Amino acid sequence: MTTFADLGLAPKVLSAIAAAGYTQPTPIQAGAIPPALQGRDVLGIAQTGTGKTASFVLPMITLLSRGRARARMPRSLVLAPTRELAAQVAENFDTYAKDTKLTKALLIGGVSFKEQDALIDKGVDVLIATPGRLLDHFERGKLLLTGVQIMVVDEADRMLDMGFIPDIERIFQLTPFTRQTLFFSATMAPEIERVTNTFLSNPEKIEVARAATTAESIEQGVVCYTATRKDRQAKEKRALLRALIEGEGARCTNAIIFCNRKTEVDIVAKSLKSHGYDAAPIHGDLDQGTRTKTLDLFREGKLRLLVASDVAARGLDVPAVSHVFNYDVPSHAEDYVHRIGRTGRAGREGKALTICVPHDEKWLAAIEDLVKREIPRVPSPLKGPDPEAKPRRDRDQAHPRAEPVQDQARTPLAEGSDKSRTTRNARSGRSRRSGGRDRDEPVVGMGDHMPAFLTRSFRPQHEPAED
């Protein structure tokens, strides 16, 4: 059995690992750390939740233990696609480098440039950044990348999805040719492969799982649902989501609910809170302070339901997420793998349920084609009328039907009969007080289902005064 001590890490790093409670490396760590310590380029391919962050943080700390950083010239660079993932890398660095004197800086949006500039001016050993904010500092003349010895690209396939590949290529060109590159991705799209062929030199390739596979510890299911009416689909989907959460009962200790659009994230979170659920949204349009606070509450177990866009599908390291609910089927099949990878981590069991409406069936087919398996269908827990709908009164009870009134205009009357004579007299000699019509005369010609009140007399009755 391989242990961290067998990998050649520095003693101070090993003591930090032991203090963190880890004893045995994951397959990606066991495969990537030895060649990284040898100074080789590494190409790591592994599904989310397999410990890729430690695969580059641990050898970086060991390699950087000798030397000193100069002002505005970081010795190593870690690129992450989102603020949350960059912050997670920074937390890992703090955990494993606590016994060393190495310094770091975190460059992400939503934080003051002035504070970040002050850190860079002092000189940092490890610079952790999102591509856009890194280039902002560079273009302002506050940062030089000519001293970078180790460069890490994390979640490269997510970089591709977010349109960061041109920025990554530019940053590569700003760093020395002699740098060591550690490149990690969950999948290998053609564009990712082109970048690795261009900027990596004879890399050691470590692939611990087939690209786009889902963990066996995750129980998956999909509810195929058709709304009763098209204009009620959104409301009924929210009712179905609540029914799924309730159906899991106490097993659902906490959960991440994924939506495709930021606006939908806000709507679903607001709906859940209005029905008494402990829920909060997180997406890219929220300020960094709100996002950080929400994630901290979720990690600490003080928030049960986190409603998220795909900004949280990567880099959200919460080991004990019991459930993932896909309120929307992701339009990119790879995102399904990363979404449900938030549960069932580190050998734990998890459950992922997806709501699929008819419009999403093509995306569901693409997901099943990618993961090479059919996702089991789950019956809808919604029974009877929509629980969010208001009860409708029976119209027949609210407005009882009147007895059919005979259409006298169409009834043949014998000439000279008393009834015929009465009718002609009523038509020709109507009372002046009733405006030309006797109010007691039935109204005819309006159909057989005329309400009773239309045939009722409203003439005031003058009762004789009592003695």
Residue 266 pLDDT exceeds 50? yes
Q: Assess contact for 127 and 74: CB atoms under 8 A.
A: yes
pLDDT reading at 89 higher than 50: yes
Q: How far apart are CA 268 and CA 61, in angstroms?
A: 42
CATH of domain 218-371: 3.40.50.300
The CA-atom distances, in angstroms, between 334 and each of 122, 161, 211, 366, 371 are 41, 10, 9, 9, 9
Q: How far apart are CA 326 and CA 277, in angstroms?
A: 17
Q: How far is CA 358 from CA 230, 325, 427, 429, in A?
A: 11, 18, 62, 67
Is 218-371 the same fold as 4-207? yes
- What's the pLDDT score for residue 379? 93
What is the C-alpha to C-alpha distance for residues 266 and 415, in angstroms, rounded to an integer? 76
The H-or-E segment that residue 325 falls in is strand 323-326
Of 91-95, 405-409, 423-427, give the range with the top mean pLDDT: 91-95
CATH topology of domain 4-207: Rossmann fold (3.40.50)
Residue ranges of the domains in the chain? 4-207, 218-371, 394-460
**What pTM, to 2 d.p., does this model score?**
0.65
- Measured CA to CA, the distance from residue 20 to residue 13 in angstroms comes to 11
**Greater model confidence, 367 or 401:** 367
**How many CB atoms are closer than 10 A to CB 95?**
15
Residue 214 reports pLDDT greater than 90: no
* Closest residue by Cα to residue 60 from 85, 25, 19, 90: 90
Measured distance CA(64)–CA(9) in Å, rounded: 12
Closest residue by Cα to residue 347 from 26, 14, 54: 26
CA distance 292 to 309: 15
What dihedral angle (degrees, nearest 10) is formed by the CA atoms of 22, 28, 33, 35?
160
pLDDT in tens, 350-381: 999 999 999 999 999 999 998 888 999 999 99
Confidence at residue 442, expressed as pLDDT on a 0 to 100 scale: 53
Of the chain, the percentage scoring pLDDT greater than 90 comes to 53
Strands (E), 167-252: 180-185, 204-207, 218-224
